[in-house]
Amino acid sequence: RAKATKARMVQSRIKQLEKMERIELETDESGIGFRFPQPERSGHTVLRLEGIGKRYGDNEVLRDLNLEIDRGDRIAIVGVNGAGKSTFSRLVAGTEPPSAGARKLGHKVELAYFSQNHADELDPKKTVLETIEKGASTAAASMNLRTLLGAFLFRGDDVFKSVGVLSGGERSRLALARMLIQPANLLVLDEPTNHLDMQSQEVMQRALADYTGTYLIVSHNRAFLDPIVTKVLEFIPRRPMRVYHGNVSDYLEKKAAEAEANAPAPAARADGPAAGAGTGDAAGGLNRREQRRLEAQQRQKRAETLKPLQQKLAAVEARIAAMESEKNTLTEKLVDPEFFKSAADEARAATERFHALEGELESAYSEWSAVTEELEGFGNR
């Protein structure tokens, strides 16, 4: 797609600017990247979940969930916070048992799982380089581990730092890098981009695009997910999980169409005489008048609830449209090589604003999704 090509060009220009602001790597920065060690081919069915449920005491997080994951599936897991996304990823990874149902791993499946908690499992006495060397498999022996660490922001003498002196974000990046060099054919990644800069995200994105296995990714980062996923699992509290085919943008378009289709039509006014009015006795007339009064009250109450939601949705959509327009304008600038040469300060400001817009859009789309769900629920009452 032209839009995808342009987006890649933007990433390239931003990467050029970031090179101006950082110390040069020992290797050519343009060559930074890695490929996953070639995993063994799994069976067609990678994982099957049958009637899976999970509760913590009286809190039921997931209920009667059924899903089959096939070889080559590229899945995004989306939903509001607290909907059960991370719980689901742990159940898929097998690090947490279900309260009900069965998890069945497919033939020759080798699974690797990443979450932010894995940072706490690193040996604080080892250096960054020793940690990655220890985690490297035979299949990764030919990989330039220093280059890989550079892609995850460990550059120069940083690789000789002890894990114990690293920040939480640095430990998370190291844990992610260590996991990614395992020859697994099923990856479960819970918020893998939280502590990565744009260039590191691009490195990981390229590696996932070339990956021959199966993966599931929990993330709010639409820009990261869109080019690399073909299926979306949606989690909403107290509702069944839903499967959408396509990427995250396709999913949002389908949600918007569903909300529009499910929005209740304005009720017809009932201020005229009811059919047959005046033909019955006085008691019948009173009953009809009372019924019309109650119906009018119900319409009024419904309108009072619905109108603010519709106004809120319109406001969020207007905000999203304005931000997308601004982002497109920045895109046009950032794909122009002359812009970086002739206006370096403006280019830096544009890059910073581009980053900020991505975060603002992510929040706006989350808000849009929540309002849309509320409207859908209202339409089904």
pLDDT tens digits, one per residue of 188-198:
999 888 877 77
Domain boundary among 237, 256, 275: 256
Instruction: Kindly list the strands in the beta sheet with 186-190, ordered across the sheet, starting from the edge strand earlier in the chain.
Output: 111-114, 186-190, 214-218, 74-79, 231-235, 242-245
For residues 316 and 364, is the Cβ–Cβ distance under 8 A?
A: yes
- Indicate if 116 and 134 belong to the same structural domain: yes
Read off the DSSP letter of residue 220.
S
Classify each residue of 43-67 as buried b or exposed e, where b means 16 or more C-beta atoms within 10 Å of its C-beta.
eeebbbbeebebeeeeeebbbebee
Token pair recorded at residue 152: 């995850």
Instruction: Please check whether residues 186 and 132 belong to one and the same domain.
Output: yes
**Residue ending a domain, choose from 256, 277, 298:** 256
> Is residue 185 in a domain?
yes
Q: Which two tokens stand for residue 289?
A: 């008048």
pTM confidence score: 0.66
Distance CA 247, CA 225 (A): 7
281 domain residue, yes or no: yes
**Are both 174 and 312 inside the same structural domain?**
no
Residues 247 and 98 in one domain: yes
Residue type, 224: F
* CATH code (residue 110): 3.40.50.300
- 346 with 276, same domain: the answer is yes
Give residue 376's Cα distance to chain centre: 21
Examine the domain organization and report whether 104 and 244 are in the same domain.
yes
6 is a domain residue: no
Domain that holds residue 126: 32-42+74-256
- In a domain, residue 179? The reply is yes
Looking at the structure, do residues 251 and 268 belong to the same domain, yes or no?
Answer: no
Number of separate domains in the chain: 2
Does residue 14 contact residue 354 with C-beta atoms inside 8 Å?
yes
- For residue range 93-143, list pLDDT tens digits in order: 999 999 999 999 999 999 999 987 888 888 999 999 998 887 675 555 545
Domain's final residue, options 256, 290, 305: 256
Q: Which residue has the higher pLDDT, 112 or 27?
A: 112
* CA–CA separation, 290 and 270 (whole Å): 12
Same domain, 224 and 282: no
Q: Do 118 and 244 lie in a common domain?
A: yes
Q: Quick: pLDDT tens for 231-249.
A: 999 998 888 999 999 999 8
